[in-house]
Amino acid sequence: MLVIEDDPAIRSALVRSLTDRGHAVSSARAGLDGLQQALDDSPDVVLLDLGLPDLDGHSLLSMLRAVRQTPVIVVTARDDDPSVVKALDAGADDYVVKPFGMDQLEARMRAVLRRTSGDGGSQALEIGELAIDPASREATLRGEALDLSRREFDLLLYLARHAGEVVSKREVLADVWNQPYGGGERTVDVHLSWLRRKLGESAAHPGYLHSIRGVGIRLAAPSEDLEGPADDSADDAPDGAPDPRP
């Protein structure tokens, strides 16, 4: 793993503790050097301090994310929400607030590795005409690739792994955003609406994503008997009715 931290005392303490615990650790004292190492050495996890002298941790994260999916745990002294939210939105997998204990850090590293290595199964999933491959991080609908952001893909994968179940936004926040304490339900809503658009559906006309009011969300294949109006009741045809072919 790679520790990017400018404070020499914190950096050496982290490197020492992690090494004692059996991790292979390299470190960088500045952002650009850290980014270079992250790209050259492909560490399994990057521990990233947000307050760096040369390159803001958020910028580093965005640059890294543009080319790599390396798991990143942000280390921040700033206990303020916006900074953490910004880091998570920029692609951080988790965060710890200084001061933190090594047990907590290790638990978070394990959780991040479990998630990103697809311990939940790297097996491809198929729900109706929706196919999701955690290994290649590709999703297709009716054979056509969906252009999903990292977070949209994670959200879709999480829901697909719980296909048929209603999951609460709190659970989604805990597992996809790693925010077990809630308070970001609006973020889930926003990503859900983006996901719906990409799947060619809407909350009012759901296909795969069903909102269960006051409870949560369920992903399920569109049920065949609800797919369209029956022939004899088609007088009030909705938008989705088949075009009369010439």
Nearer to Ca ion, 28 or 88 (CB): 28
Looking at the Cβ atoms of 78 and 161, the one nearer to Ca ion is 78
Residue 139 φ/ψ, nearest 5 degrees:
-130, 140
Residue with tokens 């977070």: 151
Nearer to Ca ion, 34 or 216 (CB): 34
- CB nearer Ca ion, residue 51 or residue 118: 51
In the complex, least distance from residue 32 CB atom to Ca ion, rounded to whole angstroms: 15
Tell me whether residue 51 or residue 229 sits nearer to Ca ion (CB atom).
Answer: 51
Check binding of 89 to Ca ion (CB under 5 A).
no
DSSP-assigned letters across all residues of 53-73: SSS-HHHHHHHHHHH----EE
Size of the site for Ca ion (CB under 5 A): 3
Question: Which span (47-55, 93-101, 111-119, 231-239) binds Ca ion, by CB under 5 A?
Answer: 47-55
96 binds Ca ion (CB under 5 A): no
Smaller CB separation from Ca ion, 77 or 111: 77
CB of 51 to Ca ion, least distance (A): 4
Q: Which is nearer to Ca ion, 6 or 129 (CB)?
A: 6
Q: Segment near Ca ion (CB under 5 A), from 4-12, 114-122, 181-189, 231-239?
A: 4-12
CB atoms within 10 A of CB 183: 11
Closest approach of Ca ion to the CB of residue 37, in Å: 17
Neighbours of 44 (CB within 10 A): 16
> Taking the CA atoms of the chain, what radius of gyration do you get in angstroms?
21
Q: Which residue is nearest to Ca ion (CB)?
A: 51
What whole-number distance in Å separates Cα of residue 236 and Cα of residue 239?
10
Residue 215 tokens read as 């409870």
Environment class of residue 241 by beta-carbon count within 10 Å: exposed (0-12), middle (13-18) or buried (19+)?
Answer: exposed
Window 209-228: residues binding Ca ion (CB under 5 A): none
Kindly state the smallest distance separating residue 7's Cβ from Ca ion, in Å: 5
C-alpha to C-alpha distances, 1 to 23, 37, 43, 135, nearest whole angstrom: 7, 10, 5, 21
What is the closest distance, in whole angstroms, from the C-beta atom of residue 148 to Ca ion in the complex? 33
Check binding of 6 to Ca ion (CB under 5 A): yes
Among 17, 41, 51, 63, binds Ca ion (CB under 5 A): 51
Q: Report the chain's terminal Cα–Cα distance, integer Å.
A: 63
Helical segments of 21-149, H only: 31-41, 57-67, 81-89, 102-116
Among 1, 18, 48, 49, binds Ca ion (CB under 5 A): 49
Give SS3 for 226: helix
List contacts with Ca ion (CB under 5 A): 6, 49, 51
